Amino acid sequence: MIQHVGEALVLRVWPFHEADLLVSLFTRDQGRVRGVARHAMKSRRRFGGALEPMTHVRASYVERPKQELVRLDAFEILSSPLSREIDYQRTAALQMVAEVLEEAMPDGAPEDAVFRLALAVLDELKIGRVWMPITYFALWMNRLMGWMPEFGHCVVCGLDLRGENVWYSATSDGVTCEDDRRPGAVLLSAESVALAGRLFRGTVRELALEEWPRIRGGDLRRFAIETLERHLERRLASARALFRS
């Protein structure tokens, strides 16, 4: 058996057997890990409120040979989303971060840059101020996973698109000029392309100082989420819930 102690984000929790819970964690040192919290539904001593999704914890768990599930022993809360006010919109945004990490992160593959991104974004997800952090998260996840297209040229004809509107398809790679747009393609404005550049150059903390109403970068947010969904090969239920808020 191998004992592990390290930082983790709680992604998802399911009932498992009678009083146990199955927990999906995104750990800093080992990537995504799934384990069993024995008797967690009966006793709060070892886990308490640490099993809420997107809680940042110091997790103690044991890895056993030839077993996919680790044994979760205890969690120490480092920060909790419930320590701040919560509403439907913020809940949906937190769930979206958790859902993307759950679907995108492979088992046992540490991704420190993604872990740091998630922590930085969680710190800025506040009531009435979710749109910039969630757009930042979706764009950066596409870049870190290698899914972000290059905006500067048409993927079909090679036309220089810098400073211009671009067109993208939810079913195809790259962006195009207007003449080469694909069936069902969607416009991404030049202003939003420029905004993406700012989001890639700045930190989420710096950008959070600005006013970001829902309408700002709305087409960019849609593009980033649809790009995630295409590569994950599934609809993000939490994103749909957020758009309905």
> Do residue 153 and residue 207 come from a single domain?
yes
Residue 13 has pLDDT above 90, yes or no: yes
Report CA dihedral (145, 224, 245, 240) to the nearest 10 degrees.
Answer: -70
> Do residue 98 and residue 184 come from a single domain?
yes
> Do residue 231 and residue 165 come from a single domain?
yes
Radius of gyration of the chain (CA): 20
Residue 46 has pLDDT above 80, yes or no: no
> Do residue 176 and residue 215 come from a single domain?
yes
Strand partners, 37: 21, 72
57: domain range? 2-82
Residue 44 has a pLDDT of 63
Rounded alpha-carbon distances, angstroms, from residue 149 to 87, 128, 146, 158, 180: 34, 30, 8, 14, 16
Report CA dihedral (108, 59, 99, 111) to the nearest 10 degrees.
Answer: -40
Question: Are residues 160 and 153 in contact, defined by beta-carbon separation less than 8 angstroms?
Answer: yes
What is the pTM (predicted TM-score) of this model?
0.94
> Do residue 158 and residue 181 come from a single domain?
yes
> Do residue 96 and residue 106 come from a single domain?
yes
Residue 146 has a pLDDT of 96
CATH of the domain at 137: 1.20.1440.120
List, for residues 18-36, the tens digit of each pLDDT value.
788 899 999 999 999 999 9
Q: How far apart are CA 60 and CA 76, in angstroms?
A: 8
> Do residue 119 and residue 40 come from a single domain?
no
Q: How far apart are CA 76 and CA 72, in angstroms?
A: 12
Q: Which of 54, 82, 110 is the last residue of a domain?
A: 82
List, for residues 150-198, the tens digit of each pLDDT value.
999 999 999 999 999 999 998 899 999 999 999 999 999 999 999 999 9
> Do residue 115 and residue 169 come from a single domain?
yes
Q: What is the bridge-based pairing of β-strands 31-37 and 70-79? A: parallel
Q: How many domains does the chain have?
A: 2
> Do residue 236 and residue 141 come from a single domain?
yes
List, for residues 60-102, the tens digit of each pLDDT value.
999 888 888 999 998 999 999 989 999 999 999 999 999 999 9
Residue 43 has pLDDT above 80, yes or no: no
| High-pLDDT (> 70) share of the chain, % | 98
CATH of the domain at 45: 2.40.50.140
Q: Which of 82, 99, 123 is the last residue of a domain?
A: 82
Q: Which of 82, 114, 135 is the last residue of a domain?
A: 82
